[in-house]
Structure 1
Amino acid sequence: GEYWLAGAVSATYALVSAFLSPQVSRLVDRLGQSRIAVPTTLVSALAFATLIVAANQHWPVWTLFLSSLLAALMPSIPALVRARWTEIFRNRPELNTAFAFESAADELVYVAGASLSVGLSAALFPEAGMVVSTLLLAFGSAAFLLQRSTEPPIRPAEDGAAGSAIRLRPVQIITFALIFVGATFATTEVTTVAITEELGQPEAASLVIGVYALGSFVLGIIVGALSLRTPLQRQLAIAVAVIALTTLPLLFADTVPTLALAVFVSGVAISPTFITAFGLIERHVPPAMLTEGVTWVTTGIGIGIALGSFAAGWMVDTFGPQNGFWVSVAAGSVALVTVLAGQCRLATPDCDPNECEAAIVPAG
């Protein structure tokens, strides 16, 4: 019954994950996916199970935070998957299509998962969504890790891996921008639940959040099927600009139908943002640290989701449900400014070398 506590527990998971996930991914790059992901996934699944029991049995609040902290050992599955796609389609046009498919699928699973979680928790019992997600996490990760034939080989440091991927300026820019993109996701979820509850239709939250994924999924598939000639850094700027602009109609959605429409429109550019972001990472990060590079980006999204949840929850509690969307407006604006300011550093080698040489050197 307290939005701030839910946001704080979520933030604990995301912020600890922000520190641990890149370290886990660096170990994956050095030692292999199976050797690292199996034990860390096991610990994470057990921690989520403990979190469920702690919430159900009303254990002390500190047990919620401790469980979230341990659950953050979970390796970045999106990074592991994209590392496999990169190994299969390296330097081939199919790689963009694979990234597009993954981004569209990620978004569909993320938003559909949120919708399913809300629906299960409302229809059955509060922990139902977490129970299902933890089971899917355990079985899905096991199925993925059993696919040994596609696991990337361990690449030696001589292939260009030195230090951490976060020292590369393009990784810094994309990660920072996607923190604020992630914040728009969380704000939409928290505020939608609060608004539908205030309207006396809490069951509509599941449907509205589910609509969020539809536009993103469809447009992601379309982008993946096209051979766009626009430079990736410009594609990213366009996608983030659309995200920023489509946060504005959310401020005026005061009925369930208008809220669903505004949420649908605000989701259309999410998959294209992911597609171009991961494509830029693949271009700028050495192969021997690719998993870590992708993880920094997904970690940025996670940080944004956690901070957005907390900020939106505070806005809802303090100023009312509708005002939660101001967090989306502010976050979208910061993300756009970041991407526009970093255009030259994000440019791939086909730009003017005198202007964009700094895009591929470490920050120091």
Structure 2
Amino acid sequence: MFASYRRLFAAPGALAFTLTGLFARLSFAMTGVSTVVLIATRRDSYALAGAVSAAGVLAVAFALPLSGRLVDRYGQARVSFAGVLLAVWPMTGLLLCTHFGAPAWTLFLCCAASSVIPNLGGMARARWAHLYRDDPAARHAANSLEQALDELCFMGGPVFAMLLCTSLFPEAGLLVGGVLGCGGLLLFAAQRRTEPPVQPPAAVPTRGALRHGGLRVLVLVFAATGVVFGSTEVSTIAYADSLGQKPLAGGLLALVAAGSCVSGLAFGLVRSRIGGAGRLLLGVAAMTVLLLLPLAAGVSGAGLAVLGPALFVAGSGTAPTMVAGMTMVQELLPARQLNEAMGVAVAGILIGISTGAAVGGMLAERAAPGTGFLLPAGAAGLALLTALAGHRRLGARPVAELSASAA
């Protein structure tokens, strides 16, 4: 396995941008927990903390496609440096306003204004797509590696944030996360030799990436997958709390991420002749079937000893879906729109996570323990139906490729 992934780093600079990007990834995983703990501690209101955090997620979802379009037009380095300069002030303002008791609306404003930092995961995948533009197998392995790195950061980030906030002071998580995020993004942007060149503008004015029918299908699939993520988190916490074992919820969620990480690395080693659309369908189908396991464990009242392994196995179904979907984004859109398309895809995931968390919370309050796992299983089924309905659109080639074929 390691030999297969080691060859990815044979390209000069590949290891450097991967390692520097880890700091920014870790920061992103820390932000949500750090914001909630900080505001809940300083303002004694979980309602306000959750509302501010949700507003920040929605602002990021809105900003990512816009920043992605700027990256496509001006390059990763220029937009990253500008994003850090613009984001550092509202980040600082959120810390100060929370600490010194400023009005609540200032917290919403600062949290939303700090969303201008571009999507590092999308930029990293764009670099892999450029480095191995003539090697589909290497691109598949690189996307699998990226998904595994995301899962690792989302396993360690919240734990690290909680440790900082509880052992030092409430602002420590957001402060350290901000330093890691800004510093990691600047170091990533400084790796110029792996930065994809800015593509010349098209002869015909380029439409927005979301105008592509295949990307619209993928965004709907990603949004449903986001609902799986958000509702699984809330349902797991609520179920553990109903059994009087809420402190174990963090470990259960880590099992979900661990299952996804392992399956992502394994999926990257698979050499299949099935096209990208076929791999996406298989991934979504597997995710749908495997999510029946935690549903069965929760509804039957089997307890956490059974739920834990079920969540690990269920988590193994999400990474192939994400890897295949991100690979499809790279295949469907021309290079001049890749970062915008990645931003649109991640925005769909974030909107799905917020929706899943909100609906999952309401279901957990009104239904019997374990019933909440119906929501992630249903969302996965919806993702499968969407992928099946849009299968033909997923087979469309980018405009640039069609033009080259005609020539």
TM-score of Structure 1 vs Structure 2, range by shorter chain: 0.7 to 0.9
CA distance in 2, matches of 1:246, 1:172: 25
Within 5 Å, give how 1:217-232 maps onto structure 2.
217-232=261-276
* 2:13 corresponds to: none
Q: Is this contact kept in 1: 2:151–2:258, CA < 8 A?
A: no
Deviation at 1:165, TM superposition (A): 0.8
CA distance in 1, matches of 2:285, 2:98: 39
Gaps of 5+ in 2: 1-39
Q: For CA contacts below 8 A with separation 6 or more, give which structure has more relative contact order.
A: 1
Q: Is the alpha carbon distance of 1:329 and 1:201 closer, same or farther for their aligned partners in structure 2, counting shifts above 3 Å?
A: same
* 2:388 corresponds to: 340
CA distance in 2, matches of 1:69, 1:82: 25
Deviation at 1:204, TM superposition (A): 1.6
Deviation at 1:49, TM superposition (A): 4.4
Q: Is the alpha carbon distance of 1:312 and 1:130 closer, same or farther for their aligned partners in structure 2, counting shifts above 3 Å?
A: farther
Q: Does 1:35 align with 2:78?
A: yes
Q: Does 1:21 align with 2:64?
A: yes
CA distance in 1, matches of 2:246, 2:175: 21
What code does the residue aligned with 2:221 have?
A
Moved more, 260-269 or 173-182: 260-269
* 2:110 corresponds to: 67
SS at match of 1:68: helix
What code does the residue aligned with 1:295 have?
G
* 1:175 corresponds to: 219
Moved more, 273-282 or 197-206: 197-206
Within 5 Å, give how 1:304-323 maps onto structure 2.
304-319=352-367, 322-323=370-371
Q: Is this contact kept in 2: 1:175–1:300, CA < 8 A?
A: yes
What code does the residue aligned with 2:290 have?
T
Q: Is the alpha carbon distance of 1:99 and 1:160 closer, same or farther for their aligned partners in structure 2, counting shifts above 3 Å?
A: farther
Q: Is the alpha carbon distance of 1:160 and 1:143 closer, same or farther for their aligned partners in structure 2, counting shifts above 3 Å?
A: farther
* 1:209 corresponds to: 253
Deviation at 1:181, TM superposition (A): 0.3
Instruction: Pick from 133, 136, 148 the counterpart of residue 104 of structure 1.
Output: 148
Within 5 Å, give how 1:153-302 maps onto structure 2.
153-158=197-202, 162-251=206-295, 252-253=297-298, 254=301, 255-302=303-350
CA distance in 1, matches of 2:360, 2:106: 24
CA distance in 1, matches of 2:119, 2:184: 13
What code does the residue aligned with 1:28 have?
V
Deviation at 1:55, TM superposition (A): 4.9
CA distance in 2, matches of 1:135, 1:313: 32
CA distance in 2, matches of 1:301, 1:73: 18
Q: Is this contact kept in 1: 2:214–2:396, CA < 8 A?
A: no
What code does the residue aligned with 1:40 have?
G
Deviations 1:289-336 (A, max 9, x none): 111111111111111112222222233344466343333133222211
Q: Is this contact kept in 2: 1:280–1:348, CA < 8 A?
A: no
Deviations 1:269-306 (A, max 9, x none): 22211211111111110111111111111111111112
SS at match of 2:116: coil
CA distance in 2, matches of 1:123, 1:258: 32
Within 5 Å, give how 1:106-145 maps onto structure 2.
106-118=150-162, 129-145=173-189
Deviation at 1:144, TM superposition (A): 0.8
Deviation at 1:167, TM superposition (A): 0.5
Deviation at 1:75, TM superposition (A): 0.8
* 1:330 corresponds to: 378
Q: CA RMSD in A?
A: 2.9
SS at match of 1:157: coil
SS at match of 1:72: helix
Deviations 1:192-251 (A, max 9, x none): 333333433333222112111111111111111221111211211121122222333323
Deviation at 1:186, TM superposition (A): 1.6
* 1:353 corresponds to: none
Moved more, 12-21 or 315-324: 315-324
How many residues are aligned here? 354
* 1:152 corresponds to: 196
Q: Is this contact kept in 1: 2:80–2:186, CA < 8 A?
A: no
Q: Is the alpha carbon distance of 1:258 and 1:7 closer, same or farther for their aligned partners in structure 2, counting shifts above 3 Å?
A: farther
Q: Is the alpha carbon distance of 1:45 and 1:210 closer, same or farther for their aligned partners in structure 2, counting shifts above 3 Å?
A: farther
Q: Is this contact kept in 1: 2:87–2:113, CA < 8 A?
A: yes
Gaps of 5+ in 1: 350-355
Instruction: Pick from 103, 125, 132 the counterpart of residue 89 of structure 1.
Output: 132
SS at match of 1:226: coil
* 2:29 corresponds to: none
Q: Is the alpha carbon distance of 1:42 and 1:346 closer, same or farther for their aligned partners in structure 2, counting shifts above 3 Å?
A: same
Deviations 1:167-195 (A, max 9, x none): 10111110111011012112222233333
Q: Is the alpha carbon distance of 1:313 and 1:174 closer, same or farther for their aligned partners in structure 2, counting shifts above 3 Å?
A: same
Deviation at 1:19, TM superposition (A): 2.3
Percent identical: 32
CA distance in 1, matches of 2:80, 2:122: 12
Q: Is this contact kept in 2: 1:115–1:205, CA < 8 A?
A: no
